[in-house]
Amino acid sequence: MIKKLIKLSAIFMTLSLVAVISIGCSKKQAAEGDVLKIGVTSMLGFPTGIEIENWFRLYAKMVNDEGGWKIGDKVYKLDLLTEDHGGDPSKHRSALEKLIFQEEVKIILESMGAWPTTSAQVAEQNKVLIIGQGFGDESATPKFNYFFRGQGLFFLRGSNYVMYNEWKKNGAKNVLLVNPDSEGGKANTEQFSKVLPVVGLEALPPVFFPADVTDFSGVAIKAKQLNADCIDMGAALDDQVVNFLKALKEVGWKGQLYPGMINANLLANLNKTVGKEFIEGSLVPYTLAEGMTSGDKEVARYFDAYKTEYDGKIGEDGAFWTAPWFIFKGAVEATQSTDHEVLKKYLENKPRAEKTLLGWVQLFARPDLGNNRTIDSMVGHGIGIIKNGKVEFFKKVAIKDQYLATVLCNNMVDTYQKYWDKFGKPEFPKGDEKISVLDYKDLK
């Protein structure tokens, strides 16, 4: 009997040990399995690109510091993997392929400087979800199913509509578009020029310059000869803006300016090089989220965390370029899934608008390209004005105005009306509706 008990005890201990080991392995496998890899590409050779990466890292850290992301019956820790795309198509492709093949990432977030056509091609070839930047038409066509333009630049005509109307109120008759001879520069010029006749301003023949040019005297002389009332440099970069405005001042040009994306360094250089008086009253994109969303406790939480993480330093426009994160986050929370195929299906079927650090971001279809999937977007946008050498908040542009102005200025009302008749009109956030100046009746 005793021997039998000893034998049974031995069997029980063995089974118990196996169970403990099994449970231990199970917990270890769950811990390892409940990690969600997210790829990010950015321009790490530029201050704004570094700031964008900082924001993405902060978003992931905030989730992890709160114990992880509870999705369904699992809790995920986020593993953010970053590669530098350098703003170069070939380097961009290599960065994406490294994330996909070496890191086995299925979800990638991108923004400023990324090449949308490259993103769309790589996403389609490898069936991974990429939420990135969007300009030009090709990456928004129906042949690409896995790329979403979360930082879209097509539905942006509301900003131009509001800005050009301000110029017209101030007595302007015409506008000269001056941009780099690049894909982005040409797309920018093509889209901006379509708004001018709707507002009632003449579009002067645009001027394109090589990306490496430093002497803008010829362009400045041409601007003066054309008697340009206003000059729009929407796609120009920092040094290009400084050198061109310096040349404009030297030839004696005077008028209203849009010097493109202004950051602290560029503004300081302009104040030093051409003086506060020359750029006084210039309208610029306003990308200081703290100024646009002051009083929003949810947004303030992000900024407090950023200041703590990065020694109190917040740049000028990095927060603006992180809309892809909020689209991704919203899709995961709405579907309670991290499966990139599930997220893709949700995003392409009129998902809800999501709040970013600058307001709202919303995905729209592109029926003008034969694409009824909601793959393009517009992000909440502000307009600033330069006063006494500083950028001040001027006014906010509603997503609804961005959308409707784009449809109107591109003569696409009939095309979009057919889409609305079949799929319904977009439902804009209530807060956004309150500040809009355009309505569907204005399209007739």
pLDDT tens per residue across span 305-325:
998 999 877 765 788 889 999
Closest by CA to 157, choosing from 131, 188, 136, 114, is: 188
Q: Based on the domain organization, do 161 and 275 belong to the same domain? A: yes
The C-alpha atoms of residue 364 and residue 347 are separated, in whole angstroms, by 10
- Whole-number pLDDT of residue 250: 98
Q: Is residue 28 part of a domain?
A: no
CB 360 within 8 A of CB 432: yes
Q: Is residue 383 part of a domain?
A: no
Q: Based on the domain organization, do 281 and 161 belong to the same domain? A: yes
Q: Based on the domain organization, do 41 and 125 belong to the same domain? A: yes
Give the full edge-to-edge strand order of the sheet including 381-387: 283-286, 381-387, 390-397
The C-alpha atoms of residue 203 and residue 169 are separated, in whole angstroms, by 17
Q: Based on the domain organization, do 171 and 278 belong to the same domain? A: yes
Q: Based on the domain organization, do 169 and 281 belong to the same domain? A: yes
Domain-ending residue, one of 287, 306, 341: 287
Q: Is residue 233 part of a domain?
A: yes
Q: Is residue 52 part of a domain?
A: yes
Residues near 326 by beta carbon (within 8 Å), at least 6 away in sequence: 354, 355, 356, 361
Q: Based on the domain organization, do 220 and 269 belong to the same domain? A: yes
Q: Which of 218-227, 248-257, 299-308, 409-418 bottoms out in mean pLDDT, i.e. has the lowest?
A: 299-308
Q: Based on the domain organization, do 133 and 169 belong to the same domain? A: no
Closest by CA to 73, choosing from 343, 418, 336, is: 336
Distances (CA, A) of 116 to 125, 136, 153, 220: 14, 8, 11, 32
The C-alpha atoms of residue 166 and residue 172 are separated, in whole angstroms, by 9
Average pLDDT over residues 326-350: 97
Q: What is the mean pLDDT of the chain?
A: 89
Using only C-alpha atoms, what is the Rg of the chain? 25
Closest by CA to 371, choosing from 142, 149, 152, is: 142
Q: Is residue 261 part of a domain?
A: yes
The SS3 call for residue 181 is coil
Average pLDDT over residues 236-253: 96
* Residue 45, CB-side half-sphere exposure with 13 Å CA sphere: 7
**Is the per-residue pLDDT at 15 higher than 70?**
no
Average pLDDT over residues 412-438: 92
- Whole-number pLDDT of residue 382: 85
Phi, psi angle pair for 149, to nearest 5°: -90, 80
Q: Based on the domain organization, do 54 and 139 belong to the same domain? A: yes
The DSSP line for 286-319 is E--HHHHSTT-HHHHHHHHHHHHHTTT---SSTG
Q: Is residue 99 part of a domain?
A: yes
CATH assignment at residue 334 = 3.40.50.2300
Closest by CA to 368, choosing from 410, 405, 403, is: 410
Q: Based on the domain organization, do 169 and 143 belong to the same domain? A: no
Q: Based on the domain organization, do 263 and 212 belong to the same domain? A: yes
**Residue type for position 331:** A
The dihedral sign for the CA sequence 43, 45, 46, 52? positive
- Range of the structural domain that residue 251 is part of: 157-287
Closest by CA to 326, choosing from 290, 361, 365, is: 361
Q: Based on the domain organization, do 172 and 280 belong to the same domain? A: yes
Would you place residue 293 in the very low, low, confident or very high pLDDT band (cuts 50, 70, 90)? low
Please tell me the total count of domains within the chain.
Answer: 2
Would you place residue 295 in the very low, low, confident or very high pLDDT band (cuts 50, 70, 90)? low
Q: Based on the domain organization, do 207 and 264 belong to the same domain? A: yes
Q: Is residue 128 part of a domain?
A: yes
Domain-ending residue, one of 259, 287, 315: 287
- Whole-number pLDDT of residue 289: 57
Q: Is residue 20 part of a domain?
A: no
Closest by CA to 51, choosing from 124, 3, 112, is: 112
3-state helix, strand, coil in the chain (%, to 5): 50, 20, 30
CB 252 within 8 A of CB 274: no
Domain-ending residue, one of 305, 327, 357: 357
pLDDT tens figures, 135-174 = 889 999 999 999 999 998 889 899 999 999 999 999 999 9
Would you place residue 4 in the very low, low, confident or very high pLDDT band (cuts 50, 70, 90)? very low
* Cβ atoms within 10 Å, residue 18: 10
